[in-house]
């Protein structure tokens, strides 16, 4: 299977390599890069989460952005998390692509949203020039932008682990249909995934933060259009469970969703309602599905050392679902 996979990838990459005139096999980083983000003076932290959004303001993207600005001001948010599929339909074409400003800068213009944005890549982003979204030059166009494949944000009471989930999914390599994916920096795939899994496992094991949150584009658990991502259930979920992760936050399914785990304390949270939604595309409701909304919206997370509050909003700013979590402060004694 590995040989077949590498052959299929090589075939699908031939055009991409000619277009970019680059070496396709790049070295893989030794560990996850870390970014420090201070908490508020009172020891709290708050942020918004949005996914699957970049459509030049269409499909209610602008309405969602307006309510994000309002809620962001009310909460005094510290930053924004993007769960991927940042630019439709096929990512960015280059660092000079006007879509960046049309779908990001000009849409999320509220003062409260002029905070750091931490973003991961989605499968649609991999259909464009991946290196463009990862290029720090974009921060000169809009200083809020920070996008990497996988990294860690440390905010003292919480560590947020951003994971590049697209390379886990077999179909993008074996059955890409008419799409062309930019796999620079990912091949050889097996080595990339092995290293990423080891780095995530190590970072989670070493974490002393009271809250541990993992962010990726693809679902682990979902009753939406895409459903569970079995590659993540098999390869990523065991790592999350072993290290007592509190939340796994994703996009990919164009909905808002809250599912609890039957085998751990993980809360599976989908925030993929940033623009185009899939009305009526809902699977069978079974316990432990706590909430599902097949429309546009976003979510907020408020954290203290021993408390967390999660809220889901629609395009009118109406609260659709909320819940609280609590836990004892971390101790390494």
Q: Which helix (H) or strand (E) element contains residue 239?
A: helix 237-242
Contact 212, 161 (CB under 8 A): yes
**What residues contact residue 94 under an 8 Å CB cut-off, 6+ apart?**
129, 132
Cα 31 from chain centroid?
Answer: 19
Contact 85, 125 (CB under 8 A): yes
Active site residue 37: no
* Bridge partners, residue 299, by sequence: 49, 312
**What residues contact residue 211 under an 8 Å CB cut-off, 6+ apart?**
157, 158, 159, 246, 247, 303, 308, 327
**Has 243 been labeled as part of a binding site?**
no
Which residue has tokens 């062309």?
180
**Has 66 been labeled as part of a binding site?**
no
**Distance between CA 244 and CA 264 in Å, rounded?**
8
* Vertex 148 angle, CA 144 and 152, to 5°: 90
Which residue has tokens 């109406």?
318
**Has 217 been labeled as part of a binding site?**
yes
Contact 184, 190 (CB under 8 A): no
Phi, psi for 294 (deg, rounded to 5): -95, 40
**Has 250 been labeled as part of a binding site?**
no
**Has 252 been labeled as part of a binding site?**
yes
**Distance between CA 209 and CA 43 in Å, rounded?**
13
**Has 88 been labeled as part of a binding site?**
yes
**Has 52 been labeled as part of a binding site?**
yes
Both tokens assigned to 154: 């440390």
Residue among 226, 243, 258, 321 flagged as catalytic:
226
Tell me the CA distances in angstroms from 229 to 168, 180, 225, one per residue in order: 9, 21, 11
Angle of the 2-20 helix axis to the 189-206 helix axis, nearest 10: 100
Tell me the CA distances in angstroms from 29 to 148, 195, 299, one per residue in order: 12, 8, 31
- Give catalytic residue positions: 226
Q: Which residues are annotated as a binding site for Fe cation?
A: 52, 85, 88, 123, 217, 252, 254
Q: Which residues are annotated as a binding site?
A: 52, 85, 88, 123, 217, 252, 254
């Amino acid at each position: 299977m590995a040989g077949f996979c590498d052959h299929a990838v090589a075939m699908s990459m031939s055009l991409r390599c000619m277009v970019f005139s680059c070496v396709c096999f790049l070295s893989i980083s030794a560990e996850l890069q870390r970014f420090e983000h201070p908490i508020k003076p009172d020891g709290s932290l708050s942020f918004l989460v949005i996914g699957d959004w970049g459509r030049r303001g269409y499909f209610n993207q602008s309405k969602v952005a307006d309510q994000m600005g309002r809620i962001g001001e009310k909460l005094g948010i510290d930053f924004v998390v993007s769960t991927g599929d940042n630019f439709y339909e096929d990512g960015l074409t280059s660092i000079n692509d006007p879509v960046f400003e049309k779908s990001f800068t000009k849409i999320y213009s509220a003062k409260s949203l002029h905070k750091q944005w931490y973003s991961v890549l989605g499968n649609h982003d991999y259909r464009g020039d991946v290196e463009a979204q990862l290029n720090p030059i974009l921060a000169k166009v809009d200083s809020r932008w920070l996008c990497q494949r996988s990294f860690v944000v440390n905010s003292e009471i919480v560590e947020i682990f951003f994971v590049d989930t697209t390379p886990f999914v077999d179909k993008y390599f074996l059955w890409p249909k008419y799409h062309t994916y930019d796999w620079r920096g990912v091949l050889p795939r097996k080595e990339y995934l092995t290293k990423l899994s080891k780095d995530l496992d190590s970072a989670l094991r070493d974490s002393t933060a009271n809250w541990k949150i993992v962010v990726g584009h693809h679902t682990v658990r979902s009753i939406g259009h895409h459903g569970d991502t079995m590659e993540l259930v098999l390869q990523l979920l065991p790592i999350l469970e072993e290290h007592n992760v509190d939340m796994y936050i994703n996009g990919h399914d164009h909905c808002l969703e809250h599912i609890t785990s039957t085998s751990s304390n993980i809360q599976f949270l989908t925030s993929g309602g940033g623009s185009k939604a899939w009305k009526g595309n809902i699977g069978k409701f079974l316990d432990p599905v706590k909430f599902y909304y097949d429309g546009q919206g976003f979510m907020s997370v408020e954290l203290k050392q021993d408390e967390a509050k999660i809220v889901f909003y629609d395009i009118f700013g109406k609260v659709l679902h909320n819940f609280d979590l609590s836990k004892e402060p971390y101790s390494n004694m």
